[in-house]
């Protein structure tokens, strides 16, 4: 991707890097993005990806992609593949630096033996419950395990037998020998290896013991020559352990761990566990459901990589817990889509408009620019005829104040076509308006007149006879609560916005018959849409990425207030 040459607002991590560079502590910035392949990546990961890869790009350094795959019972190859696709789609490249913590298993094992030989680790047979009680509490120190003072030889023998599969799962673990009375809980002899007789997606059945995160991560960083190991705030408590392990081992270098606040977004759940539940319980159609905050979901929804990167740039990086307003994300998407989406016409909630003075069988082909603000984008031709579909919401029987769309006696412009004046409307027995009658002014072909007439309203439309039927999926936030993550003891099913997905049968202009999945357009006056993979030839399916801003809605709200 292109090098970041524009000035970025500073943040505490850039300040640290600047200092390290000028002090000569760091020659070349080397970061890494270390996902665990136990789920799909979400916007929160996007923030981390942009931070790690972005920092490397900006400082002419490098960034590795490393899978933290030390817990085979939760990890799958499907996730490994999806994660790589998502990082690439976001616009980042790890070149030949694709790594897996599992590639270091043998090396890690040797380091564990090194710890044992030096009296810094021991095999402990306390079971889970005993471990917990020996650990003490937040305010009381723990007490030493009865197995803590075994000799290195004894421990080495036991650990080798663990590796050989002589013990059952849970029978024992390897623990770092640190300090059971440390006020830092994670320093109270943390487990660093446990027995798991589970098939690993990459190492198969080679191992029945697997290293824990704290042991694996710092060593992996050191082996790869990482200079700045950036992670989220909850690992701040682990930093003393990160440093302790590296200090006890003959590793090639000692990376600096730096913690930043993870991203929270209003109306959005960011916990992988809960996202998994949404998928498994069937509340959404899958990890790439367009309502999901996953990168895959957002991609399907129509978000662009540029907009996501811009968003990550604008939210900044700091250490204070924060929750970003969803409108900022929407702003970033609109900003990019506005500059890159061709405009086309689609009527989502149709009502018939009959041009009573237009010839019965006549069909005109009108030239319609794909983007009037930039004619270089070219145009297509759109059929116009006596019977059209227009948006139900563009007609008001009562002609409210400040309303300049269609209403009895009012003249509006049909974009690219003619000025029309509403003469009449037809209601059904239930009292609903079902058809609108209007007359057109033939002198306004193309949608313009030079007589200085003031026509404030411009409507989009589709010729009824030529209109193409399309399915349109309208999305709203998946959750009604602005902070779903903080809601306790309420099942997901009750938290979901019942209107998060509304499927509508729309009429779209015929030029859209052959669009390819992934194609993005703006439906004039309505919003930005992206063609879904579910589309069939001649029967497209559109996902609404984001609506256009609607200032009439605000005016109307004030009028009604």
- Name the 3-class secondary structure at 520: strand
Span from 123-131, 346-354, 377-385, 500-508 in contact with RNA (CB under 7 A): 123-131
139 lies in the site for RNA, by CB under 7 A: yes
Q: Which residues inside 354-373 make contact with RNA, applying CB under 7 A?
A: 371-373
Q: Which residues inside 263-302 make contact with RNA, applying CB under 7 A?
A: none
550 lies in the site for RNA, by CB under 7 A: yes
408 lies in the site for RNA, by CB under 7 A: no
Q: Cα dist. 408→117, 403, 455, 557 in Å?
A: 91, 12, 15, 22
End-to-end CA distance of the chain: 49
User: Which residues form the catalytic set?
Assistant: 36, 262, 272
CA-based nearest residue to 389, from 503, 466, 470, 502: 466
47 lies in the site for RNA, by CB under 7 A: no
Q: Which residues inside 48-107 make contact with RNA, applying CB under 7 A?
A: 68, 70-71, 74
Q: Are 302 and 555 in contact (CB under 8 A)?
A: no
* Interface with RNA (CB under 7 A), residue from 85, 156, 180, 261: 261
243 lies in the site for RNA, by CB under 7 A: no
Q: How many residues bind RNA (CB under 7 A)?
A: 91
Nearer to RNA, 89 or 147 (CB): 147
Question: CA 144 from chain center: how many Å?
Answer: 45
Q: Cα dist. 385→364, 481, 523 in Å?
A: 7, 46, 20
Name residues whose C-beta falls within 8 Å of residue 458's C-beta, 6 or more positions apart in sequence: 412, 413, 414, 415, 447
Span from 25-33, 106-114, 212-220, 423-431 in contact with RNA (CB under 7 A): 212-220
334 lies in the site for RNA, by CB under 7 A: yes
404 lies in the site for RNA, by CB under 7 A: yes
Span from 158-166, 333-341, 349-357, 529-537 in contact with RNA (CB under 7 A): 333-341
Q: Which residues inside 430-489 make contact with RNA, applying CB under 7 A?
A: 446-448, 457-458
Nearer to RNA, 446 or 518 (CB): 446
Span from 113-121, 192-200, 300-308, 421-429 in contact with RNA (CB under 7 A): 192-200
Name residues whose C-beta falls within 8 Å of residue 394's C-beta, 6 or more positions apart in sequence: 405, 406, 412, 457, 459
152 lies in the site for RNA, by CB under 7 A: no
Place of tokens 């076509």: 417
* Interface with RNA (CB under 7 A), residue from 402, 427, 502, 539: 402
Nearer to RNA, 56 or 390 (CB): 390
Name residues whose C-beta falls within 8 Å of residue 110's C-beta, 6 or more positions apart in sequence: none
- What span, in angstroms and rounded, lies between the C-alpha atoms of 51 and 45? 10
- What span, in angstroms and rounded, lies between the C-alpha atoms of 527 and 546? 6
Nearer to RNA, 16 or 85 (CB): 16
DSSP alpha helix (H) spans, 436-511:
492-495
Phi, psi of 134 (to 5 degrees): -70, -20
* Interface with RNA (CB under 7 A), residue from 236, 387, 481, 534: 236
Nearer to RNA, 27 or 107 (CB): 107
């Amino acid at each position: 991707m292109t090098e970041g040459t524009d000035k970025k607002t500073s943040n505490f991590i850039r300040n640290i890097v600047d200092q390290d560079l000028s002090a000569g502590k760091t020659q070349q910035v080397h970061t890494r993005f270390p996902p665990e392949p136990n789920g799909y990546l979400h916007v929160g990961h996007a923030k981390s990806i942009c931070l790690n890869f972005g920092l490397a790009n900006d400082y002419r350094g490098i960034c590795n992609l490393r899978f933290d795959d030390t817990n085979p019972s939760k990890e799958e190859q499907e996730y490994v593949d999806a994660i790589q696709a998502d990082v690439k789609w976001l616009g980042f490249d790890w070149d030949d630096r694709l790594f897996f913590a599992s590639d270091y298993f043998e090396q890690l094992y040797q380091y564990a033996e090194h710890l044992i030989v030096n009296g810094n680790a021991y095999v402990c047979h306390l079971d889970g419950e005993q471990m917990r009680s020996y650990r003490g509490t937040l305010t009381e120190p723990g007490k030493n395990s009865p197995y803590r003072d075994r000799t290195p030889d004894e421990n080495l023998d036991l650990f080798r037998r663990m590796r050989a599969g002589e013990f059952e799962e849970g029978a024992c673990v390897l623990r770092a020998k640190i300090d059971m009375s440390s006020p830092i809980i994670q320093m109270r002899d943390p487990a660093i290896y446990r027995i798991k007789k589970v098939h690993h997606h990459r190492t198969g059945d080679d191992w029945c013991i697997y290293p824990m995160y704290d042991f694996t991560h710092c060593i992996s960083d050191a082996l790869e020559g990482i200079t700045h190991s950036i992670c989220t705030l909850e690992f701040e408590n682990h930093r003393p352990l990160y440093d302790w392990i590296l200090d006890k081992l003959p590793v090639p270098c000692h990376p600096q761990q730096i913690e930043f606040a993870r991203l929270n977004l209003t109306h959005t759940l960011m916990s992988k566990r809960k996202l998994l539940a949404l998928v498994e319980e069937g509340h959404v159609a899958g990890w790439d459901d367009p309502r999901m905050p996953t990168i895959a979901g957002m991609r399907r929804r129509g978000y662009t990589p540029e907009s996501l990167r811009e968003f990550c740039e604008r939210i900044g990086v700091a250490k204070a817990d924060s929750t970003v307003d969803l409108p900022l994300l929407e702003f970033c998407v609109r900003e990019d889509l506005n500059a890159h989406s061709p405009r086309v016409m689609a009527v989502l909630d149709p009502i018939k408009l009959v041009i009573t003075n237009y010839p019965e069988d006549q069909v005109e082909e009108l030239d319609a620019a794909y983007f009037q603000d930039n004619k270089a984008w070219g145009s297509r031709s759109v059929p116009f005829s006596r019977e059209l579909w227009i948006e139900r919401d563009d007609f008001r029987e009562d002609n409210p104040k400040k309303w300049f769309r269609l209403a009895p006696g009012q003249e509006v412009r049909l974009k690219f076509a003619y000025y029309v004046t509403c003469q009449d409307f037809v209601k059904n027995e239930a009292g609903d308006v079902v058809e609108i009658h209007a007359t057109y002014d033939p002198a306004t072909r193309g949608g313009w007149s030079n007589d200085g007439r003031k026509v404030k309203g411009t409507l989009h439309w589709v010729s009824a006879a030529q209109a193409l039927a399309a399915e349109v999926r309208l999305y709203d936030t998946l959750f009604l609560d602005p902070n779903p993550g903080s809601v306790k003891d309420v099942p997901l099913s009750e938290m979901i916005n019942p209107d998060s997905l509304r499927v509508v049968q729309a009429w779209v202009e015929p030029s859209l018959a052959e669009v390819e999945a992934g194609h993005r357009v703006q439906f004039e006056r309505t919003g930005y849409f992206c063609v879904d993979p579910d589309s069939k030839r001649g029967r497209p399916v559109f996902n609404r990425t984001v609506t256009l801003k609607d200032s009439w809605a605000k005016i109307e709200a004030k009028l009604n207030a």
